[in-house]
Structure 1
Amino acid sequence: MSRKVLITGGTGLIGTRLAELLIDAGYEVALLSRQTSASHYHTFRWDPRHDILDPAAIRYADYIINLAGSSVSDGKWTEERKREILESRLNGTRLLAKELAKGEHHVRAFLSASAIGIYGDSGDKLVNEEMPPNTPADDFLADVSRKWEQAAQEVAALGIRTIIARIGIVLSTEGGALPQMARPVKLMAGAALGSGKQFMSWIHLDDLCRLLIQMLDEPQWQGTYNAVSPNPVTNQIFTETLADVMHRPLVLPKVPAFALNLMMGEMSEIVLASQRVSAEKVLNQGFTFEYPNLKGALDSFYAAEE
């Protein structure tokens, strides 16, 4: 049986590693990209901003993994930047739904990324997929995630098996939050952020990619799942564990929230919002984490540097 996967956002942090592991697992991989020369994978052209999508791409695919979206942590959240973050997710997802609605395809499953930001700042309450996102209208990340998931539901409405993965903080030394957190720790300038009591729900990049592949592989995966490790930790514990693994002392006091607001503006909600997210649903579905605990995950990156 043909196993061809089409990935949007395939040159990003998750997509790059996911494509490698899909190839290892016996899948064929092609990308959707604005630049068709950007990769050694077969690449179809699309430009969601202008509603352009090579129809051959959809006809190629047995599975579609939709990861495309502008990074939320690159630069301050100006109104223009916020519009780009939202539209880069909605335009692509809607364009795929529109093309799939034409029916000339053999797509067996559609896997679309979302983010745990949909839960807003939930303090120390453990949140799961059954809880309706209870967020104020001024929570930008929750609003983006909610609209992104609504766009993915347009594919589910076509009768295609649709999986939405609410992704936590992805740990990798190749990009994302971890290198930004590790840099000050390495320079002995590491410190907890804000109160340090806010929960961080994280997942090792390899576990995330293995989870996404299992979601594709097994037809019982359908609907919405949290893609986080089973052991979220507070920002204080995260910072202390990172310092311990990197053999650096933590000598500085916590960075106060007002200072983060001054530096980052509204974007400070990325590091100050507390999200304690349950992994029970993916565990019950039969997924096994290689890195369920933070120390083991961080050791996998930094132990070799000793």
Structure 2
Amino acid sequence: MRRRKDSRPSVVGQRWGLPAAMVGVALLLAGCGESAARGYLPEPVTEAGHDVVFFWNATWIAALAVGVLVWGLILWCLFAYRKKNDELPTQFRYHVPLEILYTIVPILMVAALFGKTVEVQNTLLERQDNPDVVVNVAGKKWSWDFNYINEDVYIAGVQAATLNDGLEGVPETLPTLVLPVDSRVEFVLTSRDVIHSFWVPQFLQKLDMVPGRVNIFQVTTTEEGTFDGKCAELCGAYHSEMLFNVQVVSQEEYDQHIEDLRAAGNTGQLGLELDQYELQPDQRDKFPEPSGR
């Protein structure tokens, strides 16, 4: 009689398969360089952005550790308690130490995750007195108005409709928010019509803009450069074209930009009278008044 070939995996394969796969993944991640080191998030260009990267990576490492533990226990049970004969192993209705373990440990993990989330959120929403720059960002279908409050000048955005035509030079036609580097910037967010969301991916932070309300957050710029901005809330037919640029420049270049706006006649503010809805009474004190120079 011919002997049936054993189709079970070899002992060597069982023992070294999972470690070999993990080593392969580690080598793959190592080859990705800085992008992998920050969890494939955009490179942060604000102080608080680094806190977001750290928390993001820590969360994934904790999740991976739990996953490896659970996968390891599953594989151990499969091999240690596989059927060896026709008899069933001893059956247990409960195991008190294990039940305590998988009840208490998840509660502690969720509590730690919740606490750290609140800590990072508070850091992102922390406001300092007398920021260097205050900008009222007004979202509108489907573009942006930028009011420099203290300098009493503005930038009026126009919808980037040429995106659908595939024409070159679209980024140059977008409204551009210019900010000084190494400065504390306060964004006062309002909406002229529907809900929008102010998002600069490399800030690693965004906040909704709700009609009739004022939302505020601050960032400290750390890197010069040009960065993409967009609306992160589906707001209608041309949501995908609601784009803008952010340029972080030296203080001298920023001052020159403000003077250029004055020379172009962009003085004053594009105010709340352009909004479709009135600001709610409890929100009016949040909206800053131009102080001029």
The two structures have a TM-score, normalised by structure 1, of: 0.22
Larger C-alpha radius of gyration, 1 or 2? 2
Report the TM-score when normalising by structure 2. 0.23
